Chain A
Amino acid sequence: MIFLKLIVTNLLRHRVRSLISIAGVAFSVAAMITVVSILQGAIGMFSNILSNDSQIIVFERDVSDLFFSNVPVSAAGEIASWPIVAHANPVLFGVVASAGHPIITCFGVDASDARIQKATWLQGERGTFAQKPNEVVLGSRAAQFLSARVGENVQLGHSTFRVMGVVKTENGFENGGVFMPLTTAQSFFHKEGTSSVATVKLRRRNDAAAFKRMVEARYPDLTALEDTEFTRSYSQFRILKATAWAVGGCGLLLGGLGVANTMIMSVFTRIREIAILRVNGFSCLQIGAVVFGEAAGVSVFGAAVGLLVGAGVLKALKMIPALDGYIDPSLHPLLMLVVLLLALFTGLAGTLYPAFYAMRVRAVEALRFE
Protein backbone atom coordinates (compact mmCIF):
# COMPACT_ATOMS: atom_id res chain seq x y z
CA MET A 1 0.00 0.00 0.00
CA ILE A 2 2.83 2.39 0.92
CA PHE A 3 4.46 1.36 -2.35
CA LEU A 4 1.38 2.41 -4.25
CA LYS A 5 1.12 5.57 -2.18
CA LEU A 6 4.72 6.47 -3.01
CA ILE A 7 3.95 6.06 -6.71
CA VAL A 8 0.72 8.05 -6.62
CA THR A 9 2.24 10.71 -4.35
CA ASN A 10 5.11 11.27 -6.74
CA LEU A 11 2.73 11.62 -9.67
CA LEU A 12 0.45 14.00 -7.78
CA ARG A 13 3.35 16.06 -6.47
CA HIS A 14 3.91 17.51 -9.93
CA ARG A 15 0.42 17.35 -11.32
CA VAL A 16 1.00 19.51 -14.38
CA ARG A 17 4.09 17.56 -15.38
CA SER A 18 2.27 14.28 -14.92
CA LEU A 19 -0.75 15.54 -16.84
CA ILE A 20 1.41 16.71 -19.75
CA SER A 21 3.04 13.33 -19.87
CA ILE A 22 -0.32 11.54 -19.71
CA ALA A 23 -1.60 13.83 -22.46
CA GLY A 24 1.44 12.97 -24.60
CA VAL A 25 0.75 9.26 -24.29
CA ALA A 26 -2.99 9.82 -24.76
CA PHE A 27 -2.53 11.80 -27.99
CA SER A 28 -0.06 9.23 -29.30
CA VAL A 29 -2.44 6.39 -28.57
CA ALA A 30 -5.41 8.30 -29.97
CA ALA A 31 -3.45 9.05 -33.16
CA MET A 32 -2.39 5.45 -33.50
CA ILE A 33 -5.90 4.13 -32.86
CA THR A 34 -7.40 6.59 -35.33
CA VAL A 35 -4.90 6.02 -38.12
CA VAL A 36 -4.88 2.25 -37.75
CA SER A 37 -8.66 2.02 -37.44
CA ILE A 38 -9.25 4.24 -40.48
CA LEU A 39 -6.86 2.21 -42.59
CA GLN A 40 -8.14 -1.10 -41.23
CA GLY A 41 -11.64 0.13 -42.00
CA ALA A 42 -10.64 1.09 -45.53
CA ILE A 43 -8.97 -2.26 -46.05
CA GLY A 44 -12.00 -4.02 -44.60
CA MET A 45 -14.31 -2.17 -46.94
CA PHE A 46 -12.22 -2.93 -49.97
CA SER A 47 -12.13 -6.56 -48.88
CA ASN A 48 -15.91 -6.50 -48.54
CA ILE A 49 -16.22 -5.25 -52.10
CA LEU A 50 -14.24 -8.24 -53.27
CA SER A 51 -15.82 -10.81 -51.01
CA ASN A 52 -19.42 -9.69 -51.45
CA ASP A 53 -21.28 -13.01 -51.56
CA SER A 54 -18.08 -14.81 -52.55
CA GLN A 55 -15.23 -16.62 -50.88
CA ILE A 56 -12.47 -16.61 -53.45
CA ILE A 57 -10.95 -13.94 -55.66
CA VAL A 58 -9.32 -14.87 -58.95
CA PHE A 59 -6.98 -12.28 -60.42
CA GLU A 60 -3.87 -11.91 -62.55
CA ARG A 61 -0.79 -13.43 -60.96
CA ASP A 62 1.89 -11.05 -59.60
CA VAL A 63 -0.11 -7.93 -60.37
CA SER A 64 0.76 -4.97 -58.14
CA ASP A 65 -2.71 -3.47 -58.12
CA LEU A 66 -6.09 -5.00 -58.93
CA PHE A 67 -6.86 -2.07 -61.25
CA PHE A 68 -4.14 -3.48 -63.55
CA SER A 69 -5.34 -7.08 -63.34
CA ASN A 70 -6.80 -8.76 -66.42
CA VAL A 71 -8.96 -11.84 -66.10
CA PRO A 72 -10.57 -13.00 -69.35
CA VAL A 73 -14.36 -13.02 -69.03
CA SER A 74 -14.27 -16.38 -70.81
CA ALA A 75 -12.20 -17.73 -67.91
CA ALA A 76 -14.79 -16.46 -65.43
CA GLY A 77 -17.46 -18.17 -67.53
CA GLU A 78 -15.59 -21.45 -67.59
CA ILE A 79 -14.87 -21.29 -63.86
CA ALA A 80 -18.58 -20.73 -63.22
CA SER A 81 -19.29 -24.02 -65.00
CA TRP A 82 -17.03 -26.08 -62.73
CA PRO A 83 -19.09 -28.44 -60.54
CA ILE A 84 -17.62 -27.23 -57.24
CA VAL A 85 -18.44 -23.58 -58.06
CA ALA A 86 -21.79 -22.08 -57.06
CA HIS A 87 -21.24 -18.94 -59.07
CA ALA A 88 -18.42 -16.79 -60.49
CA ASN A 89 -18.85 -13.12 -61.31
CA PRO A 90 -16.43 -11.03 -63.33
CA VAL A 91 -15.91 -7.52 -61.93
CA LEU A 92 -14.04 -4.75 -63.70
CA PHE A 93 -12.62 -1.92 -61.60
CA GLY A 94 -11.84 1.45 -63.09
CA VAL A 95 -11.48 5.05 -62.08
CA VAL A 96 -13.36 7.81 -63.84
CA ALA A 97 -13.37 11.55 -63.41
CA SER A 98 -16.23 14.00 -63.35
CA ALA A 99 -16.25 17.78 -63.05
CA GLY A 100 -14.86 18.61 -59.60
CA HIS A 101 -14.44 14.94 -58.74
CA PRO A 102 -11.20 13.57 -60.16
CA ILE A 103 -11.53 10.08 -58.73
CA ILE A 104 -14.73 8.07 -58.85
CA THR A 105 -14.47 4.30 -58.54
CA CYS A 106 -16.32 2.48 -61.25
CA PHE A 107 -17.59 -1.10 -60.96
CA GLY A 108 -18.35 -3.02 -64.13
CA VAL A 109 -20.64 -5.85 -63.06
CA ASP A 110 -23.20 -8.36 -64.33
CA ALA A 111 -26.86 -7.92 -63.51
CA SER A 112 -26.62 -11.03 -61.31
CA ASP A 113 -23.80 -9.55 -59.21
CA ALA A 114 -24.47 -9.39 -55.46
CA ARG A 115 -23.62 -5.68 -55.41
CA ILE A 116 -26.64 -5.01 -57.58
CA GLN A 117 -28.87 -7.67 -56.11
CA LYS A 118 -28.23 -7.00 -52.42
CA ALA A 119 -28.02 -3.23 -52.47
CA THR A 120 -30.88 -1.07 -51.20
CA TRP A 121 -32.33 0.67 -54.22
CA LEU A 122 -33.21 4.23 -53.25
CA GLN A 123 -34.32 5.10 -56.78
CA GLY A 124 -34.86 3.07 -59.96
CA GLU A 125 -35.67 -0.58 -60.66
CA ARG A 126 -33.24 -3.36 -59.79
CA GLY A 127 -34.55 -5.55 -62.60
CA THR A 128 -33.70 -3.08 -65.35
CA PHE A 129 -29.93 -2.95 -64.66
CA ALA A 130 -27.74 -3.65 -67.72
CA GLN A 131 -30.63 -3.60 -70.14
CA LYS A 132 -29.35 -0.47 -71.85
CA PRO A 133 -25.60 0.04 -72.43
CA ASN A 134 -25.41 3.75 -71.62
CA GLU A 135 -27.18 3.52 -68.29
CA VAL A 136 -25.43 3.53 -64.92
CA VAL A 137 -26.37 3.15 -61.29
CA LEU A 138 -24.94 5.61 -58.80
CA GLY A 139 -24.01 4.94 -55.20
CA SER A 140 -25.98 7.15 -52.80
CA ARG A 141 -23.05 9.44 -52.01
CA ALA A 142 -22.01 9.65 -55.67
CA ALA A 143 -25.57 10.71 -56.50
CA GLN A 144 -25.23 13.40 -53.86
CA PHE A 145 -21.94 14.88 -54.99
CA LEU A 146 -22.81 14.54 -58.68
CA SER A 147 -26.23 16.07 -57.90
CA ALA A 148 -27.89 13.48 -60.13
CA ARG A 149 -31.23 11.72 -59.93
CA VAL A 150 -32.79 8.88 -61.90
CA GLY A 151 -33.48 9.92 -65.47
CA GLU A 152 -30.84 12.63 -65.47
CA ASN A 153 -27.53 12.46 -67.34
CA VAL A 154 -24.08 12.47 -65.76
CA GLN A 155 -20.76 13.20 -67.39
CA LEU A 156 -18.15 10.58 -66.61
CA GLY A 157 -14.83 11.07 -68.40
CA HIS A 158 -15.63 11.91 -72.00
CA SER A 159 -18.95 10.09 -72.02
CA THR A 160 -22.44 10.89 -70.89
CA PHE A 161 -24.53 8.29 -69.10
CA ARG A 162 -28.14 8.21 -68.03
CA VAL A 163 -28.74 7.46 -64.35
CA MET A 164 -31.11 4.51 -64.06
CA GLY A 165 -30.84 3.93 -60.31
CA VAL A 166 -29.38 5.06 -57.00
CA VAL A 167 -28.33 2.42 -54.48
CA LYS A 168 -27.12 2.40 -50.91
CA THR A 169 -24.80 -0.25 -49.53
CA GLU A 170 -22.91 -0.63 -46.25
CA ASN A 171 -19.68 0.10 -48.09
CA GLY A 172 -18.31 3.62 -48.44
CA PHE A 173 -16.40 2.83 -51.62
CA GLU A 174 -19.52 1.45 -53.28
CA ASN A 175 -21.69 4.33 -52.07
CA GLY A 176 -19.21 6.75 -53.59
CA GLY A 177 -18.92 4.79 -56.84
CA VAL A 178 -20.67 4.13 -60.13
CA PHE A 179 -22.01 0.76 -61.27
CA MET A 180 -21.92 0.05 -65.00
CA PRO A 181 -22.94 -3.01 -66.92
CA LEU A 182 -19.78 -5.08 -67.43
CA THR A 183 -19.77 -4.69 -71.22
CA THR A 184 -20.21 -0.93 -70.92
CA ALA A 185 -17.30 -0.72 -68.50
CA GLN A 186 -15.11 -2.88 -70.77
CA SER A 187 -15.79 -0.59 -73.67
CA PHE A 188 -15.36 2.57 -71.57
CA PHE A 189 -12.02 1.45 -70.16
CA HIS A 190 -10.88 -0.20 -73.42
CA LYS A 191 -10.68 -3.60 -71.79
CA GLU A 192 -12.93 -5.61 -74.03
CA GLY A 193 -13.30 -9.23 -73.05
CA THR A 194 -11.64 -8.85 -69.69
CA SER A 195 -12.43 -8.12 -66.08
CA SER A 196 -10.19 -7.17 -63.16
CA VAL A 197 -11.18 -10.09 -60.99
CA ALA A 198 -13.61 -12.95 -60.84
CA THR A 199 -15.31 -13.35 -57.47
CA VAL A 200 -16.19 -16.96 -56.82
CA LYS A 201 -18.52 -18.70 -54.42
CA LEU A 202 -17.97 -22.42 -53.94
CA ARG A 203 -20.68 -24.93 -53.19
CA ARG A 204 -18.61 -26.16 -50.24
CA ARG A 205 -16.01 -23.93 -48.65
CA ASN A 206 -13.85 -26.99 -47.98
CA ASP A 207 -13.16 -27.22 -51.70
CA ALA A 208 -11.10 -24.01 -51.63
CA ALA A 209 -7.74 -25.79 -51.82
CA ALA A 210 -8.90 -27.98 -54.70
CA PHE A 211 -10.28 -24.92 -56.50
CA LYS A 212 -7.01 -23.06 -56.18
CA ARG A 213 -5.14 -26.02 -57.62
CA MET A 214 -7.59 -26.21 -60.53
CA VAL A 215 -7.13 -22.51 -61.32
CA GLU A 216 -3.36 -22.86 -61.17
CA ALA A 217 -3.45 -25.85 -63.51
CA ARG A 218 -5.91 -24.39 -66.01
CA TYR A 219 -4.81 -20.74 -65.94
CA PRO A 220 -1.11 -20.36 -65.11
CA ASP A 221 -1.38 -16.56 -65.45
CA LEU A 222 -4.09 -16.33 -62.81
CA THR A 223 -4.09 -16.89 -59.10
CA ALA A 224 -6.89 -17.63 -56.66
CA LEU A 225 -6.92 -16.57 -53.02
CA GLU A 226 -9.49 -16.95 -50.30
CA ASP A 227 -10.79 -13.57 -49.12
CA THR A 228 -8.97 -13.75 -45.77
CA GLU A 229 -5.79 -14.83 -47.55
CA PHE A 230 -6.16 -11.97 -49.99
CA THR A 231 -6.58 -9.38 -47.24
CA ARG A 232 -3.47 -10.71 -45.58
CA SER A 233 -1.23 -10.95 -48.62
CA TYR A 234 -2.32 -8.24 -51.04
CA SER A 235 0.66 -5.94 -51.32
CA GLN A 236 -1.37 -2.70 -51.26
CA PHE A 237 -3.04 -3.74 -48.04
CA ARG A 238 0.27 -4.72 -46.54
CA ILE A 239 1.77 -1.36 -47.42
CA LEU A 240 -1.22 0.42 -45.91
CA LYS A 241 -1.08 -1.62 -42.73
CA ALA A 242 2.68 -1.17 -42.40
CA THR A 243 2.28 2.58 -42.93
CA ALA A 244 -0.47 2.81 -40.34
CA TRP A 245 1.55 0.93 -37.73
CA ALA A 246 4.70 2.90 -38.57
CA VAL A 247 2.89 6.25 -38.17
CA GLY A 248 1.23 5.06 -34.99
CA GLY A 249 4.51 3.62 -33.73
CA CYS A 250 6.25 6.97 -34.26
CA GLY A 251 3.47 8.63 -32.28
CA LEU A 252 3.92 6.16 -29.46
CA LEU A 253 7.66 6.62 -29.56
CA LEU A 254 7.14 10.34 -29.01
CA GLY A 255 4.79 9.51 -26.16
CA GLY A 256 7.43 7.21 -24.71
CA LEU A 257 10.01 9.99 -24.91
CA GLY A 258 7.57 12.23 -23.06
CA VAL A 259 7.30 9.64 -20.29
CA ALA A 260 11.09 9.32 -20.24
CA ASN A 261 11.44 13.08 -19.86
CA THR A 262 8.91 13.15 -17.04
CA MET A 263 10.58 10.30 -15.23
CA ILE A 264 14.04 11.81 -15.61
CA MET A 265 12.76 15.05 -14.08
CA SER A 266 10.91 13.11 -11.42
CA VAL A 267 13.99 11.14 -10.38
CA PHE A 268 16.42 14.05 -10.53
CA THR A 269 14.25 16.25 -8.36
CA ARG A 270 13.93 13.73 -5.54
CA ILE A 271 17.33 12.17 -5.21
CA ARG A 272 17.18 12.92 -1.51
CA GLU A 273 13.91 11.08 -1.12
CA ILE A 274 15.36 8.06 -2.91
CA ALA A 275 18.31 8.22 -0.53
CA ILE A 276 15.92 8.22 2.43
CA LEU A 277 14.27 5.09 1.09
CA ARG A 278 17.67 3.46 0.63
CA VAL A 279 18.73 4.30 4.18
CA ASN A 280 15.49 2.78 5.43
CA GLY A 281 16.18 -0.53 3.72
CA PHE A 282 14.75 -0.17 0.23
CA SER A 283 16.68 -2.34 -2.21
CA CYS A 284 17.71 -1.20 -5.70
CA LEU A 285 14.91 -3.31 -7.11
CA GLN A 286 12.34 -1.73 -4.81
CA ILE A 287 13.54 1.73 -5.84
CA GLY A 288 13.35 0.66 -9.49
CA ALA A 289 9.86 -0.71 -8.91
CA VAL A 290 8.69 2.66 -7.57
CA VAL A 291 10.09 4.49 -10.62
CA PHE A 292 8.74 1.92 -13.09
CA GLY A 293 5.43 1.97 -11.24
CA GLU A 294 5.14 5.71 -11.87
CA ALA A 295 5.96 5.24 -15.55
CA ALA A 296 3.45 2.39 -15.82
CA GLY A 297 0.82 4.58 -14.15
CA VAL A 298 1.42 7.41 -16.62
CA SER A 299 1.50 5.04 -19.61
CA VAL A 300 -1.58 3.01 -18.72
CA PHE A 301 -3.63 6.04 -17.69
CA GLY A 302 -2.49 7.88 -20.82
CA ALA A 303 -3.29 4.88 -22.99
CA ALA A 304 -6.75 4.54 -21.44
CA VAL A 305 -7.47 8.22 -22.07
CA GLY A 306 -6.03 7.81 -25.59
CA LEU A 307 -8.33 4.88 -26.31
CA LEU A 308 -11.34 6.94 -25.23
CA VAL A 309 -10.21 9.94 -27.28
CA GLY A 310 -9.47 7.69 -30.27
CA ALA A 311 -12.90 6.08 -30.01
CA GLY A 312 -14.46 9.53 -29.80
CA VAL A 313 -12.55 10.78 -32.84
CA LEU A 314 -13.63 7.75 -34.85
CA LYS A 315 -17.26 8.25 -33.85
CA ALA A 316 -17.00 11.93 -34.80
CA LEU A 317 -15.42 11.11 -38.16
CA LYS A 318 -18.14 8.57 -38.81
CA MET A 319 -20.71 11.34 -38.40
CA ILE A 320 -19.15 13.40 -41.20
CA PRO A 321 -21.36 12.66 -44.23
CA ALA A 322 -18.44 12.63 -46.69
CA LEU A 323 -16.76 9.88 -44.69
CA ASP A 324 -19.88 7.81 -44.08
CA GLY A 325 -19.14 4.22 -44.99
CA TYR A 326 -15.38 4.73 -45.13
CA ILE A 327 -14.73 4.44 -41.42
CA ASP A 328 -15.29 1.51 -39.15
CA PRO A 329 -15.72 3.18 -35.74
CA SER A 330 -15.55 -0.04 -33.75
CA LEU A 331 -12.36 -0.57 -31.76
CA HIS A 332 -11.25 -4.17 -31.94
CA PRO A 333 -10.26 -5.57 -28.52
CA LEU A 334 -7.04 -6.97 -29.97
CA LEU A 335 -6.06 -3.56 -31.36
CA MET A 336 -6.85 -1.95 -28.01
CA LEU A 337 -4.75 -4.53 -26.19
CA VAL A 338 -1.84 -4.16 -28.63
CA VAL A 339 -1.89 -0.37 -28.34
CA LEU A 340 -2.15 -0.55 -24.55
CA LEU A 341 0.81 -2.92 -24.36
CA LEU A 342 2.82 -0.81 -26.83
CA ALA A 343 2.16 2.31 -24.75
CA LEU A 344 3.18 0.48 -21.60
CA PHE A 345 6.27 -0.94 -23.27
CA THR A 346 7.43 2.41 -24.68
CA GLY A 347 6.74 4.10 -21.34
CA LEU A 348 8.75 1.50 -19.44
CA ALA A 349 11.51 1.50 -22.04
CA GLY A 350 11.74 5.27 -21.69
CA THR A 351 12.10 4.81 -17.94
CA LEU A 352 15.10 2.51 -18.14
CA TYR A 353 17.63 5.30 -17.78
CA PRO A 354 15.94 7.23 -14.93
CA ALA A 355 15.23 3.96 -13.11
CA PHE A 356 18.85 2.87 -13.53
CA TYR A 357 19.98 6.27 -12.26
CA ALA A 358 17.66 6.05 -9.25
CA MET A 359 18.86 2.56 -8.44
CA ARG A 360 22.45 3.77 -8.39
CA VAL A 361 21.85 6.74 -6.08
CA ARG A 362 24.37 6.60 -3.23
CA ALA A 363 22.42 7.44 -0.12
CA VAL A 364 25.38 8.81 1.78
CA GLU A 365 26.26 11.31 -0.94
CA ALA A 366 22.66 12.36 -1.52
CA LEU A 367 22.12 12.95 2.19
CA ARG A 368 25.43 14.68 2.76
CA PHE A 369 24.43 17.66 0.64
CA GLU A 370 21.55 19.17 2.57
Chain B
Amino acid sequence: MSLSPPNNGQRAIAVRALDLWKSYDDGAVTVLQGIDLECFEGRSVALCGPSGCGKSTLLHLIAGLDQPDRGRVWVNGSELDRRRNLLNLLRHEIGIVFQLHNLIPDLTLEENCLIPAVAAGTNPHAARQRLGELAERTGLHKRLKHRVQKLSGGERQRTALCRALMNRPKILLADEPTGSLDERTGGMVFDLLLELVNAEGVTLLMSTHDRALASRCDRIVEMHDGRANETVCVL
Protein backbone atom coordinates (compact mmCIF):
# COMPACT_ATOMS: atom_id res chain seq x y z
CA MET B 1 0.00 0.00 0.00
CA SER B 2 1.39 3.40 -0.94
CA LEU B 3 0.93 6.03 1.68
CA SER B 4 2.30 9.06 -0.06
CA PRO B 5 0.53 12.26 0.84
CA PRO B 6 -0.74 14.32 -2.06
CA ASN B 7 1.27 17.42 -1.22
CA ASN B 8 4.76 15.97 -0.79
CA GLY B 9 6.20 18.52 -3.23
CA GLN B 10 9.90 17.95 -3.88
CA ARG B 11 10.63 16.55 -0.43
CA ALA B 12 12.83 13.47 -0.19
CA ILE B 13 11.67 10.38 1.63
CA ALA B 14 13.27 10.29 5.10
CA VAL B 15 11.86 6.91 6.18
CA ARG B 16 10.48 4.17 4.04
CA ALA B 17 9.22 0.80 5.21
CA LEU B 18 8.16 -1.86 2.76
CA ASP B 19 6.18 -4.97 3.61
CA LEU B 20 7.43 -5.19 7.20
CA TRP B 21 6.58 -8.30 9.16
CA LYS B 22 7.49 -8.94 12.77
CA SER B 23 6.45 -11.63 15.18
CA TYR B 24 7.48 -12.70 18.69
CA ASP B 25 7.61 -15.98 20.59
CA ASP B 26 8.64 -18.00 17.54
CA GLY B 27 5.79 -16.66 15.46
CA ALA B 28 3.10 -17.14 18.08
CA VAL B 29 2.41 -13.40 18.24
CA THR B 30 2.49 -11.53 14.94
CA VAL B 31 2.76 -7.81 15.57
CA LEU B 32 3.39 -6.37 12.12
CA GLN B 33 1.77 -7.88 9.06
CA GLY B 34 3.16 -6.27 5.95
CA ILE B 35 3.35 -2.61 6.92
CA ASP B 36 4.22 -0.05 4.25
CA LEU B 37 5.11 3.48 5.25
CA GLU B 38 6.73 6.56 3.78
CA CYS B 39 7.66 9.69 5.72
CA PHE B 40 8.86 12.78 3.97
CA GLU B 41 11.68 14.97 5.15
CA GLY B 42 10.64 17.64 7.62
CA ARG B 43 7.10 16.29 7.98
CA SER B 44 5.45 14.96 11.11
CA VAL B 45 3.60 11.67 11.07
CA ALA B 46 1.48 10.29 13.90
CA LEU B 47 1.02 6.55 14.25
CA CYS B 48 -2.30 5.92 15.92
CA GLY B 49 -3.93 2.73 17.00
CA PRO B 50 -4.80 0.59 20.01
CA SER B 51 -2.18 -0.86 22.33
CA GLY B 52 -0.40 -3.85 20.84
CA CYS B 53 -1.09 -2.87 17.24
CA GLY B 54 2.65 -2.61 16.54
CA LYS B 55 3.37 1.12 16.76
CA SER B 56 6.39 0.76 19.05
CA THR B 57 7.64 -2.27 17.14
CA LEU B 58 7.54 -0.28 13.92
CA LEU B 59 9.53 2.53 15.52
CA HIS B 60 12.10 0.02 16.84
CA LEU B 61 12.53 -1.49 13.39
CA ILE B 62 13.02 1.94 11.85
CA ALA B 63 15.63 2.79 14.51
CA GLY B 64 17.50 -0.42 13.77
CA LEU B 65 17.00 -1.61 17.35
CA ASP B 66 15.30 -4.76 16.10
CA GLN B 67 15.20 -6.72 12.86
CA PRO B 68 12.04 -7.45 10.89
CA ASP B 69 11.19 -11.05 10.02
CA ARG B 70 10.55 -9.85 6.50
CA GLY B 71 10.52 -6.58 4.64
CA ARG B 72 12.87 -3.67 4.17
CA VAL B 73 13.52 -0.32 5.82
CA TRP B 74 15.24 2.71 4.32
CA VAL B 75 16.40 5.64 6.40
CA ASN B 76 17.61 8.77 4.64
CA GLY B 77 17.82 6.86 1.41
CA SER B 78 19.92 3.91 2.56
CA GLU B 79 18.59 0.49 3.41
CA LEU B 80 19.28 -0.61 6.99
CA ASP B 81 20.14 -4.17 5.96
CA ARG B 82 22.93 -2.90 3.75
CA ARG B 83 24.45 -0.59 6.32
CA ARG B 84 27.71 -1.78 7.80
CA ASN B 85 27.35 0.20 10.97
CA LEU B 86 23.95 0.80 12.51
CA LEU B 87 25.59 2.75 15.34
CA ASN B 88 25.87 5.80 13.12
CA LEU B 89 22.13 5.65 12.65
CA LEU B 90 21.57 6.07 16.39
CA ARG B 91 24.44 8.50 16.82
CA HIS B 92 23.77 10.93 13.99
CA GLU B 93 20.57 10.24 12.07
CA ILE B 94 17.87 9.23 14.52
CA GLY B 95 16.88 10.53 17.93
CA ILE B 96 14.43 8.62 20.11
CA VAL B 97 12.05 9.80 22.82
CA PHE B 98 10.29 7.15 24.90
CA GLN B 99 7.08 7.25 26.88
CA LEU B 100 9.03 6.77 30.10
CA HIS B 101 11.76 9.33 29.54
CA ASN B 102 14.46 6.66 30.12
CA LEU B 103 16.93 8.99 31.79
CA ILE B 104 19.74 7.75 34.03
CA PRO B 105 18.59 8.71 37.52
CA ASP B 106 21.92 9.38 39.21
CA LEU B 107 23.18 11.74 36.54
CA THR B 108 22.28 15.39 36.22
CA LEU B 109 20.08 16.76 33.48
CA GLU B 110 23.19 18.04 31.71
CA GLU B 111 25.00 14.70 31.93
CA ASN B 112 21.98 12.81 30.65
CA CYS B 113 21.72 15.11 27.66
CA LEU B 114 25.43 14.80 26.88
CA ILE B 115 25.33 10.99 26.62
CA PRO B 116 24.68 10.92 22.85
CA ALA B 117 27.48 13.44 22.34
CA VAL B 118 29.87 11.28 24.37
CA ALA B 119 28.83 8.21 22.40
CA ALA B 120 29.43 10.01 19.12
CA GLY B 121 32.74 11.49 20.28
CA THR B 122 31.51 15.05 19.75
CA ASN B 123 33.83 17.84 20.83
CA PRO B 124 32.82 18.59 24.45
CA HIS B 125 32.76 22.34 23.88
CA ALA B 126 30.50 22.01 20.86
CA ALA B 127 28.30 19.54 22.74
CA ARG B 128 27.83 21.94 25.65
CA GLN B 129 27.07 24.76 23.27
CA ARG B 130 24.40 22.64 21.58
CA LEU B 131 22.97 21.66 24.95
CA GLY B 132 22.87 25.32 25.92
CA GLU B 133 20.75 26.09 22.83
CA LEU B 134 18.37 23.23 23.47
CA ALA B 135 18.08 23.96 27.19
CA GLU B 136 17.30 27.59 26.41
CA ARG B 137 14.55 26.60 23.98
CA THR B 138 13.04 24.05 26.32
CA GLY B 139 13.30 26.25 29.40
CA LEU B 140 15.64 23.86 31.17
CA HIS B 141 18.69 26.11 31.23
CA LYS B 142 18.36 26.75 34.98
CA ARG B 143 18.02 23.06 35.78
CA LEU B 144 21.11 21.75 34.00
CA LYS B 145 22.98 20.79 37.16
CA HIS B 146 19.96 19.21 38.81
CA ARG B 147 19.67 15.48 39.18
CA VAL B 148 16.93 13.79 37.25
CA GLN B 149 15.17 12.74 40.48
CA LYS B 150 14.62 16.41 41.30
CA LEU B 151 12.82 17.12 38.02
CA SER B 152 9.08 17.04 37.38
CA GLY B 153 7.56 14.65 34.83
CA GLY B 154 7.33 17.37 32.21
CA GLU B 155 10.91 18.46 32.81
CA ARG B 156 12.09 14.90 32.49
CA GLN B 157 10.36 14.48 29.17
CA ARG B 158 11.75 17.79 27.96
CA THR B 159 15.20 16.53 29.04
CA ALA B 160 14.63 13.36 27.02
CA LEU B 161 13.70 15.55 24.07
CA CYS B 162 16.90 17.58 24.42
CA ARG B 163 18.91 14.37 24.62
CA ALA B 164 17.25 12.98 21.51
CA LEU B 165 18.07 16.15 19.55
CA MET B 166 21.66 16.56 20.89
CA ASN B 167 23.43 15.21 17.83
CA ARG B 168 21.14 17.07 15.40
CA PRO B 169 19.40 13.97 14.04
CA LYS B 170 17.34 14.30 10.86
CA ILE B 171 14.64 12.02 12.20
CA LEU B 172 12.98 11.97 15.60
CA LEU B 173 11.11 8.87 16.66
CA ALA B 174 8.79 9.49 19.59
CA ASP B 175 7.10 6.55 21.24
CA GLU B 176 4.07 7.93 23.10
CA PRO B 177 6.11 10.95 24.25
CA THR B 178 3.27 12.37 26.32
CA GLY B 179 1.81 9.07 27.46
CA SER B 180 3.06 9.35 31.03
CA LEU B 181 2.11 13.02 31.48
CA ASP B 182 -1.14 14.69 32.45
CA GLU B 183 -3.12 16.38 29.68
CA ARG B 184 -1.88 19.90 30.31
CA THR B 185 1.80 18.95 30.70
CA GLY B 186 1.54 16.56 27.78
CA GLY B 187 0.16 19.34 25.66
CA MET B 188 2.99 21.65 26.63
CA VAL B 189 5.65 19.02 25.91
CA PHE B 190 4.04 18.27 22.57
CA ASP B 191 3.99 21.98 21.67
CA LEU B 192 7.66 22.09 22.40
CA LEU B 193 8.27 18.92 20.43
CA LEU B 194 6.56 20.32 17.35
CA GLU B 195 8.27 23.66 17.74
CA LEU B 196 11.70 22.03 17.89
CA VAL B 197 11.20 19.63 15.00
CA ASN B 198 9.86 22.47 12.87
CA ALA B 199 12.72 24.80 13.85
CA GLU B 200 15.35 22.15 13.11
CA GLY B 201 13.66 20.69 10.07
CA VAL B 202 13.47 17.26 11.68
CA THR B 203 11.18 14.51 10.43
CA LEU B 204 8.91 13.38 13.28
CA LEU B 205 7.43 9.94 13.47
CA MET B 206 5.38 9.63 16.61
CA SER B 207 3.18 6.95 18.09
CA THR B 208 0.31 8.16 20.22
CA HIS B 209 -3.13 7.32 21.56
CA ASP B 210 -4.02 10.97 21.80
CA ARG B 211 -6.16 11.90 18.80
CA ALA B 212 -5.98 15.59 19.59
CA LEU B 213 -2.19 15.57 19.50
CA ALA B 214 -2.11 13.33 16.44
CA SER B 215 -4.33 15.75 14.58
CA ARG B 216 -1.65 18.40 14.89
CA CYS B 217 0.78 16.30 12.84
CA ASP B 218 1.05 16.55 9.06
CA ARG B 219 -0.26 13.01 8.64
CA ILE B 220 -1.90 10.34 10.69
CA VAL B 221 -1.32 6.69 9.98
CA GLU B 222 -3.94 4.44 11.53
CA MET B 223 -2.62 1.06 12.58
CA HIS B 224 -4.71 -1.96 13.43
CA ASP B 225 -3.59 -5.56 13.96
CA GLY B 226 -0.18 -4.89 12.53
CA ARG B 227 -1.43 -3.20 9.41
CA ALA B 228 -1.61 0.43 8.35
CA ASN B 229 -5.28 0.63 7.51
CA GLU B 230 -5.74 4.17 6.45
CA THR B 231 -4.03 7.48 6.21
CA VAL B 232 -5.56 10.77 7.05
CA CYS B 233 -3.73 13.70 5.57
CA VAL B 234 -4.13 16.64 7.84
CA LEU B 235 -2.23 19.04 5.62
Contact = CB atoms under 8 A, between A and B. Distances in A.
To the question of whether A and B form a pair in one complex, the answer is yes
Interface of A: 1-3, 5-6, 9, 12-13, 272-273, 276-283, 286, 362-364, 367-368, 370
B40 to A, nearest CB: 25
Contacts of B100: 370
Contacts of B104: 6, 9, 273, 276
Give 5 nearest A-B pairs by CB, closest first.
A281-B119, A281-B91, A364-B65, A281-B90, A364-B66
Contacts of A278: 90
B200 to A, nearest CB: 18
A3 B117 CA distance: 11
A276 B107 CA distance: 13
A303 to B, nearest CB: 26
Interface in B136-190: 163, 167
Contacts of B63: 279
A153 to B, nearest CB: 75
Nearest to B103: A276
* Chain B residues touching A, range: 20 to 34
B163 to A, nearest CB: 7
B21 interface: no
B111 A2 contact: yes
Interface of A is mostly: helix
B106 interface: yes
Given A9-B106, A281-B90, A364 B60 contact: yes
Given A364-B65, A370-B100, A277 B106 contact: no
B120 interface: yes
A280 B163 contact: yes
B115 A280 contact: yes
Given A1-B124, A273-B104, A276-B102, A281 B116 contact: yes
Interface string B86-116: 0100110000101010111011000100111
B119 A280 contact: yes
B134 to A, nearest CB: 15
A13 B120 contact: no
Contact of B116 (A272, A280, A362): A280
Given A5-B107, A9-B107, A282 B119 contact: yes
B213 interface: no
Contacts of B90: 278-281
A327 B87 CA distance: 57
B59 to A, nearest CB: 10
